[in-house]
Chain A
């Protein structure tokens, strides 16, 4: 193991193991982890766009893994409009390097320079027509190494998915007949949340006084 490059994005320097950020699965998906939490700001979707573009896979292949203390990179707070800046820059470099790692395996297998290989939605092709894929080569050991920062991320002009408006990945679960989200809290957590007695203040639906809530506490 070599020490992580000081030029790595700070989140990646703090958690340099590539396998902490992403994992290629034989079933044809990439699991991507971030230390930033989806709060409705759409961060998991934005980060999936970064991962998809750097890896040359379609968005549908990216599975964002909800942040969990035991398994996710520690990225501190999810706050300050910093999530794409911090986690996005880390994932950009980590995914670019993972792409190079996987291309390296194919290049060695076929004895061709990595630069001649192309990746289309995870399918790796050589000029002579030979093909393989991330999914065929999937091996967690390949990413059990620290990032070097030597893989060049794509220029912004080469992004196809970043910068476009894509549907939020977290919304279908939130609107499913049986929602499975962080908001399906337990009774104990609900009581804690509700015991503050704080008066709710929220944006109004209309400027008229019709249909106001029935009463406020203490009024």
Chain B
């Protein structure tokens, strides 16, 4: 492809403006993983179905695998890497650790991002609301009920710290 088809797009990723030069239709997921090296966001189905690629766009969970780069121009993208810091995971990640609520872990960064998005909007979700929000994420292992309990525990921890 000739260079003239490439565009420069600036995206705000985890609080940092990142200028990327690529085709405007490139999926955000590939920009995160390949251009920016942020490999916490996973490729699952590539069809916007499984949630392994969830990121927050302006605070709302979105599938990065079918979001073209041009759609996030000058918008704020938050990935797994932007939630928490090394040694101090996001409360959802900490609750999943505390509850041993993951097996293979492939889907789990998408789960953390999706649940973090839920808890940013709803500080006191019911179990039903947590389960509905997590319907964005497919998991083949079987830690589902532990993950639901972990998200509820994280919600309680966040409320206590506010």
Q: Known contacts A183-B42, A187-B30, A202-B138: does B89 contact A40 (CB below 8 Å)?
A: no
Query: Are the CB atoms of A179 and B136 closer together than 8 Å?
Result: no
Residues 9-46 of A contacting B (Cβ, < 8 Å):
39-42
Cα separation A190 to B106 with both chains bound (whole Å): 12
Range, interface on chain B: 35 or more
Contact indicator B86/A176 (Cβ below 8 Å): yes
Given A179-B40, A185-B43, A211-B136, is A205 in contact with B131 using a C-beta cutoff of 8 Å? Answer: yes
Q: How far is B132's CA from A84's CA once the two chains are assembled, in angstroms? A: 37
Contact assessment for B45 and A200 in the assembled complex, using a CB-CB cutoff below 8 Å: yes
A residues in contact with B48, CB < 8 Å: 213-215
Q: A168 near B46 (CB under 8 angstroms)?
A: no
Mostly, the B contact residues are: loop
- Determine, out of B2-10, B15-23, B76-84, the stretch whose residues face the partner at the interface: B76-84
CA distance A183 to B44 in the complex (A): 10
Q: How far is the CA of A214 from the CA of B49 in the complex (A)?
A: 7
Taking CB as reference atom, which chain A residue is nearest B49? A213
**Bound complex: CA A179 to CA B133 (Å):** 23
Tell me how far the C-beta of B62 lies from the nearest C-beta in chain A, rounded to whole angstroms: 11
Question: A175, B93: Cβ atoms under 8 Å?
Answer: yes
A174–B133 contact, CB under 8 A? no
| Residue B102 CB within 8 A of the other chain | yes
A39 to B106: give the CA distance in the assembly, Å.
10
Flag whether B157 is at the interface (Cβ < 8 A): no
How far does the alpha carbon of A202 sit from the alpha carbon of B33 in the complex, in Å? 25
Q: At the interface, yes or no: A170 with Cβ under 8 Å from chain B?
A: yes
B155 at the binding interface (Cβ < 8 Å): no
- Decide: A175 and B43 in contact? CB cutoff 8 A: no
Contact with A along B115-140 (1 / 0, CB 8 A): 00000000000001001111111111
